[in-house]
Structures are given as structure tokens and as C-alpha cells.
Amino acid sequence: MKINYTLTGGILILSPEGELDHHCAMTDLARMRELIEVMLPPNVLLDLAAMPFTDSSGIAVLMNLYRAARRLDSGFAIVNTQSQPMKVFRAAGLDRILSFRTEEVHI
């Protein structure tokens, strides 16, 4: 999976591209967590528009990124979640814990 990122106006936008499954989850998590820890952004926005699939490993990735952001007192939100990943996240109850948005986000 490719991890695209930009830092604009105090928001680190992480945009994973491709499928997130148990084969790549830990590598992708480590890369995104490293970006958060190196850039120290006030806010983290996870844009999932280019991630059409995840298995249950995506749950751990999202929770770990959320915790990494919170350790730095950074805001954290998720946008543009496609249908299949959202089903996985809802089944795990992440929609009650994390901020999933469809509109423009002001963290």
C-alpha cells in the first residue's frame, strides 16, 4: 500500500492508497505513525478515499493512529471512507469512538 501525505495549515493529511489487510497492516501503521511522530501536527486527517478494502487489521490500524495523535494532543478525524471499510469499522463499533466525516472537516 502506498501512503500519501501532506502537511497543510497544521493538518497532516494521511491518504493510504490500496487495500489494507493483514499482509501490510503493520508496515503501513508504522509508516503513518512515524509521520505523525516526526511532523508533530496539531491535527491528523486520515483520508480513506483511495482505500477500497480492509479486513479486521484495519481496526487496529485506525485505533493505533488515533492513539498516536492523542498522545501528541492532536485532533484526529477520518474522511471519505468507502463502503466496505465502513462496514468493517461499524461492525467493530469504531463509529462510536472515532470521528468519521463525509464533509469538509475542521478538526
What is the structure's pLDDT at 81? 96
Q: Given a cut of 80, is residue 90 above it in pLDDT?
A: yes
**What average pLDDT does this structure show over 85-106?**
88
Q: Quick check: pTM over 0.85? A: yes
Domain spans in the chain, listed from the N-terminal domain onward: 15-101
Q: Are 77 and 45 in contact (CB under 8 A)?
A: yes
Mean pLDDT value across the chain: 94
Q: Which of 63, 78, 7, 54 is nearest to 33 (CA)?
A: 63
CA angle 83/85/90 to nearest 5° reads 90
Select 15-101's CATH number: 3.30.70.920, 3.40.50.720, 3.40.630.10, 3.30.750.24.
3.30.750.24
pLDDT digits (tens, 9 = 90+) for 4-35: 999 999 999 999 999 999 999 999 999 999 99
Q: How confident is the model at residue 102 (pLDDT cuts 50, 70, 90)?
A: confident
